[in-house]
Amino acid sequence: MKKILIITIIIFSFINNIFADEKFGEIFIKGVSYAENILNENYKNFLDKIKSSDSTETLKQEMIISPEMKEKVLKIPSYMFHYIENVPKNTKDKLRYNLSFSPENLEKLMIYLKENNIETITHWDVKEILEGKKAIPQKAIILGFDDGHLDHYTEAFPILKKYGKKGVFFVVSNFASTDPNYMNWEQIRELQAAGNEIGGHSFSHPNLTTVNAKELEKQVIESKKEIEKQIGKPVISFAYPIGKYNETVKKCVEKAYLFARTTKYGGEINPKKLLEIPTLRITPDFSIKNVGKYFEKKK
């Protein structure tokens, strides 16, 4: 015990003498300060590089489709929802009515899916299926909610949670930041934390075929960066606003996304056309039993 005490006193005395040397102390402090500056500067440069990067390597997630999946068309229909609300049939706003689906009907759909063992999956699941990391589900669908309407959070989200289902919520980044009629970032983060996927749907929902190159980059790529910054997770799917796209738009989307959903009719995912995934539109008079009939047809 005495030996330990003596050694401790000697070490303390040695260190104290070193720092008593004013010159050494100054050098030591400068060295620590210099190291901190380097670390801080490197970290700042790293963040700036991410923010300003145009590299597709930093924008886009990697996906290597397994050989056995390259020719396999997946029987996974992607359904498209807009407003989850009760809109009177005699309303003057016919467009809103035609794009609506009541919360009551959404709940009936969830019950039907549960009773018929139909899974709900996301594009992250599709990615793993195509990579050969996950088996193809016997019966699975994608529930896509477009635009980021507030009722996706207040109406759809509680119903999905109640029945253990998940969806893909395609959000318009500027709407999320500025418009109270749409989900805000906190609500969007809550959706994601519950297992839902957040997809891109542009910056301000224009017809992308009519904008110039700079604006297209802003709508497709910069909006994706903003979403990723807000939710803290990569975004791999995109939905073309009002379903409009051409080869120029598709090439821009390809820089940043693995999957893109159109408004063209269809219920399959072709590995050769991942930027042109078709959809099945949900309308007020949609028959829930059609979901099951789709799988009966595909047997």
Based on the domain organization, do 94 and 162 belong to the same domain? yes
56 or 149, higher pLDDT: 149
Q: What is the pLDDT of residue 209?
A: 99
d(CA 127, CA 251): 20
The torsion angles phi and psi of 257, rounded to 5 degrees, stand at: -120, 155
Based on the domain organization, do 84 and 47 belong to the same domain? no
Task: Indicate if the pLDDT at residue 29 is higher than 70.
Answer: no
Domain count across the chain: 2
Q: pTM score, two decimals?
A: 0.81
Task: Indicate if the pLDDT at residue 23 is higher than 90.
Answer: no
| pLDDT band with cut points at 50, 70 and 90 for residue 293 | confident
Segments forming the whole domain that contains residue 216 = 58-297
Based on the domain organization, do 46 and 159 belong to the same domain? no
Give 188-236 pLDDT, tens digit per residue: 999 999 999 999 999 999 999 999 999 999 999 999 999 999 999 999 9
List of E strands, the chain: 78-81, 119-120, 140-147, 168-171, 197-200, 237-239, 259-265, 277-281
299 or 296, higher pLDDT: 296
Structural contact between residues 160 and 110, judged by C-beta atoms closer than 8 angstroms? yes
Based on the domain organization, do 22 and 128 belong to the same domain? no
| pLDDT band with cut points at 50, 70 and 90 for residue 296 | confident
Based on the domain organization, do 91 and 200 belong to the same domain? yes
| pLDDT band with cut points at 50, 70 and 90 for residue 297 | low
Share of the chain above pLDDT 90, in %: 77
Based on the domain organization, do 185 and 220 belong to the same domain? yes
| pLDDT band with cut points at 50, 70 and 90 for residue 294 | confident
Instruction: Tell which of 29, 52, 75 closes a domain.
Output: 52
Based on the domain organization, do 41 and 156 belong to the same domain? no
The torsion angles phi and psi of 120, rounded to 5 degrees, stand at: -110, 130
Tokens of 240: 């073309």
Q: What is the mean pLDDT of residues 130-153?
A: 98
Based on the domain organization, do 287 and 155 belong to the same domain? yes
Based on the domain organization, do 137 and 202 belong to the same domain? yes
CATH number at residue 263: 3.20.20.370
Based on the domain organization, do 106 and 207 belong to the same domain? yes
Based on the domain organization, do 115 and 198 belong to the same domain? yes
The torsion angles phi and psi of 18, rounded to 5 degrees, stand at: -60, -50
Return the minimum-mean-pLDDT range out of 1-10, 40-49, 103-112, 123-132: 40-49
Based on the domain organization, do 79 and 160 belong to the same domain? yes
Under 8 Å CB-to-CB from 183, ≥6 apart: which residues? 148, 149, 150, 152, 153, 169, 171, 176, 191
Return the minimum-mean-pLDDT range out of 47-56, 91-100, 134-143, 253-262: 47-56
Q: What is the pLDDT of residue 32?
A: 40
